[in-house]
């Protein structure tokens, strides 16, 4: 091969190497920006669990989308086979002068508590609750009914009662109780908290109801 032909061949080879290098660099840049569509998705991106908080100091609860929010709970038993749940660590104790009724209080805040129970009852449940409201007004200053509505509970006749009253040092409290009857026994679940914390705590009455028997 002549010297001139050799120089031409070497020039062509060098140009070819340069072109290949540019193409390779372009491919690397493109693939760095766009990962493969089959890349695994982080588990947190598809999880159906969400955190809920019943109060500013309680952030342990989780629930699956579409299911009643359920924080950590303990099973609780009343009289006559009645069962429900209370927040974990809240110890149910009998309520003085109210046979068959129990109260579980937040051990860190006495202002937050739930109640449940069962007792013999007769007559129409709505009238019974209305009479109970009149009696409660003698004990709870400023009691004001928000609603008292018929509500069926698992096919049993019931009442959904919500009210406010004036607690200590002018602190307004809010209460919601759900009552139902079967076999001459009235059952109930009940949540009470300062009105300022009601939005966070009111849903727990549904948790108690959904996990109660009968």
Could you tell me the pTM of the whole model? 0.68
pLDDT in tens, 18-41: 433 433 433 333 333 333 332 232
Reported in sequence order, the residue ranges of the chain that DSSP labels E, i.e. its strands, are: 49-52, 61-64, 73-77, 83-87, 92-94, 101-106, 109-120, 144-150, 158-166, 172-182, 185-194
In this prediction, residue 20 carries a pLDDT of 39
In this prediction, residue 104 carries a pLDDT of 98
* Averaged pLDDT for residues 135-157: 97
Residue 182 DSSP code: E
Q: How distant, in Å, are the alpha carbons of 58, 147, 154, 158, 163 from that of 209?
A: 21, 18, 10, 12, 18
* C-alpha to C-alpha distance for 40 and 47, rounded to whole angstroms: 14
Quote the distance between the C-alpha of residue 89 and its chain's center: 17
Confidence of residue 70 (pLDDT cuts 50, 70, 90): low
* Start-to-end Cα distance in the chain: 103
Residue 204 has pLDDT above 60, yes or no: yes
């Amino acid at each position: 091969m002549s010297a001139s032909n050799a120089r031409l061949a070497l020039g062509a080879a060098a140009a070819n190497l340069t072109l290949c290098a540019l193409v390779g660099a372009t491919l690397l840049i493109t693939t760095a920006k766009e990962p493969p569509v089959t890349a695994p998705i982080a588990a947190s991106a598809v999880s159906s669990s969400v955190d809920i908080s019943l109060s500013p100091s309680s952030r342990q609860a989780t629930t699956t989308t579409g299911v009643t929010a359920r924080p950590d709970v303990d099973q609780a038993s009343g009289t006559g086979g009645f069962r429900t749940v209370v927040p974990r660590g809240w110890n149910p104790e009998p309520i003085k002068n109210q046979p068959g009724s129990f109260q579980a209080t937040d051990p860190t805040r006495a202002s937050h508590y739930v109640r449940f129970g069962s007792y013999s009852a007769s007559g129409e449940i709505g009238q019974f609750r209305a009479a109970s409201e009149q009696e409660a007004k003698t004990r709870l200053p400023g009691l004001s009914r928000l609603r008292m509505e018929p509500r069926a509970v698992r096919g049993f006749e019931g009442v959904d009662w919500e009210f406010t009253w004036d607690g200590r040092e002018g602190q307004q409290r809010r209460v919601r109780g759900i009552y139902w009857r079967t076999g001459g026994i009235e059952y109930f679940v009940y949540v009470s908290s300062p009105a300022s914390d009601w939005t966070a705590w009111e849903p727990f009455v549904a948790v108690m109801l959904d996990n109660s028997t009968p």
